[in-house]
Amino acid sequence: MSEYNFVAVDLGATSGRVILATFQGSNVAMEEICRFSSPIIQLRGHFYWDLPAIYSSVVKGLKLVAQRGVEPTSIGIDTWGVDVALFGKDGELLRLPYSYRDPHTVGAPERFFEDMPREELYERTGIQVMNFNTLFQLDTLRYNDCSALAAADKILFIPDALAYMLTGEMVTEYTIASTSQMIDPRTRKWDEEILHRIGLRTEQFGRQVMPGEKIGVLTEEIQRLTGLGAVDVVAVASHDTGSAVATVPAKDMATAYLSSGTWSLMGVVSPEPIITKHSAQLNFTNEGGIGGTIRVLKNICGMWLLERCRAEWGEMGYGELIAEAQKAEPFRSLINPDAECFANPQSMTEAIKEYCELSGQPAPESVGQFVRCIFESLALRYRAVVAMLEELTGVAVEQLYVIGGGAKNDMLNQFSANAIGVPVVTGASEATALGNVAVQAVKVGELGGYEEVMESFSSLLESKYYEPCDALVWAQGWEKFANLNK
């Protein structure tokens, strides 16, 4: 019986993992080899990713794989979107990459719209306007006379930068590039007019690859450092949401998905981009998926709210937090999770208190009241976004499929079913890693096509079903939430 081993390097905005997936016939096992932080360095008023530290952690993970006596079939890398690293003509990293949480792009969209109207930009890209989009990051660097950008020979997205550090090959993977607001979603190629407006050329990006294409093999240096051989590094859907959504069993747009983590990303899988005046008004985005699909979605601030509160409370466990929330009064305090004040405040608890006070509500006082406020507000925001999706697609949403870490959050999933009024079904909490591995596995013909590979993961899923309830109570909660946002 043939055995295949795939390594998924899965990097989130707070932590990363190296995961080993082993296929033996119809049996699949996944194991987390190591976990590490995705460190952000605060320096001179800016926030940077410590890319060398992340690279070192990835190399350490590959070394641990080798120490198991395993020779991987291939390696795939996925990360968060939009952020880029700049490299000089000598191939050296020119500076630490800015984090999308950095405030240097505040006001950047409005400045860009003086050169290209917002409507034209959206028509060209179909990407929601968020000040941290790659386009606005690069335009801000140009506006600020960034010496690293002026010297940059290549601009690589974070997963592509790590792939380069492992293989020496510079590429741009399509799904990660689609988050940049510089790709035409119809042609899947760079929009050269947009690049021209910010003084860039297509040659400054690596050769474009699609999910499933080989990037290269581990360099001799990496082979020495890790003890592995000349293992293939394969382009997956390297935007982490692209990999996660690849696991959603959506036959049509009646199934909406929610990738629930630091961000909540809600949308549908579409064969074509949806770019209309209405989608522009609602600020929906069209990002690339596997098989040429488009992820029509909206970003919602997710568990970032709670994680930042937890940091102030001493990292209380989720079980304890939910137990406290269950004791709290329903709908006592509600917030708009996407309000700008929650983007990166010094204190999340103080930001929530201030929002409630300014909106005429009692501010949360106990841990349980904070948690309930966050969960109820997220669920009600999900209801608002589902209504927007139905307007855009003309298709009634009949089910919400939840993937990512939030798939394990029973309270939030039940609240979501109650708020939206449709069943919530959970998929893989490790959806990103599964999608990463699946793209690699399809390259091995013996393992079958994408559907067959995903079917082999069924034993790893712990799906749950949440039926809507308490409709009258949640209707009252919705009325209060809707009035907050008028």
Q: Which domain holds residue 415?
A: 248-427+448-486
**390-399: average pLDDT:** 96
Instruction: Please enumerate in sequence order all residues whose Cβ is within 8 A of that of 313, keeping only pairs 6 or more positions apart, or say none.
Output: 367
Does residue 141 lie in a domain region?
yes
Question: Using 50, 70 and 90 to split pLDDT, how confident is the model at 251?
Answer: confident
One domain for residues 230 and 257? no
State which of 190, 206, 241 marks the end of a domain.
Answer: 241
- Burial tier of 358 (Cβ tally within 10 Å: 0-12, 13-18, 19+): exposed
Co-location of 282 and 161 in the same domain: no
Instruction: State the Cα–Cα distance between residues 111 and 90, nearest whole angstrom.
Output: 33
Asked if 152 and 22 sit in the same domain, the reply is: yes
Residue 207 domain flag? yes
**Which of 105-114, 142-151, 451-460 has the least mean pLDDT?**
451-460
The verdict on 264 and 201 lying in the same domain is no
On whether both 406 and 295 belong to a single domain, the answer is yes
Would you state the pLDDT for residue 459?
77
Q: Which segment of 18-22, 245-249, 373-377, 422-426 scores lowest on mean pLDDT? A: 245-249
Convert the pLDDT of each residue in 91-113 to its tens digit. 999 999 999 989 999 999 999 99
Q: Please give the mean pLDDT across all residues of the chain.
A: 94
Q: Does residue 164 sit in the same domain as residue 276? A: no
Q: Greatest CA separation found in the chain?
A: 66
pLDDT digit string (tens) for 32-70? Answer: 999 998 889 999 889 999 999 999 999 999 999 999 999
Render pLDDT for 263-314 as a digit per residue (tens, 0 to 9).
899 999 999 999 999 999 999 999 999 988 999 999 899 999 999 999 999 8
Average pLDDT over residues 217-234: 98
Report whether pLDDT(1) > 70. no
Q: Annotated catalytic residue: which of 240, 252, 410, 470?
A: 240
pLDDT band of residue 191 (cuts 50, 70, 90) is very high
Specify the pTM.
0.89
Q: Looking at residue 453, what is its pLDDT?
A: 87
**Terminal Cα-to-Cα distance of the chain (whole angstroms):** 62
Q: Is the pLDDT of residue 212 over 70?
A: yes
Residue 87 has pLDDT above 80, yes or no: yes
Clarify whether residues 222 and 266 are in a common domain: no
Q: Are residues 92 and 213 in the same domain?
A: yes
Dihedral (CA of 187, 189, 194, 197) sign: negative
Pairing of strands 183-184, 189-190: antiparallel
> What mean pLDDT is predicted for residues 228-255?
93
- 236 and 262 in a single domain? The answer is no
> Residue 486 — pLDDT band, cuts 50, 70, 90?
low
> Domain check: are 389 and 458 in the same one?
yes
Residue 284: strand, helix, or coil: coil
User: Beta strand 294-301 with 285-288: parallel, antiparallel or unpaired?
Assistant: antiparallel
Query: What is the CATH number for 311?
Result: 3.30.420.40
pLDDT of res. 463: 87
Residues 26 and 156 in one domain: yes
How many alpha carbons fall within 13 Å on the CB side of residue 150? 6
Categorize the per-residue pLDDT at 318 as very low, low, confident or very high, splitting at 50, 70 and 90.
Answer: confident
187 falls in which pLDDT band (50, 70, 90)? very high
Judge whether 240 counts as a catalytic residue.
yes
Provide the number of structural domains found in the chain.
Answer: 2
Q: Is 442 a domain residue?
A: no
Residue 439 domain-assigned (yes or no): no
Q: pLDDT digit string (tens) for 156-181? A: 999 999 999 999 999 999 999 999 99
Q: How far apart are CA 173 and CA 213, in angstroms?
A: 9
Same domain, residue pair 213 and 313? no
Residue 136 lies in a domain: yes
Examine the fold and report which residue of 216, 241, 266 is the final residue of a domain before the chain moves on. Answer: 241
Q: Residues 347-362: what's their mean pLDDT? A: 96
pLDDT at 14: 81
Which of 241, 268, 293 is the C-terminal boundary of a domain? 241
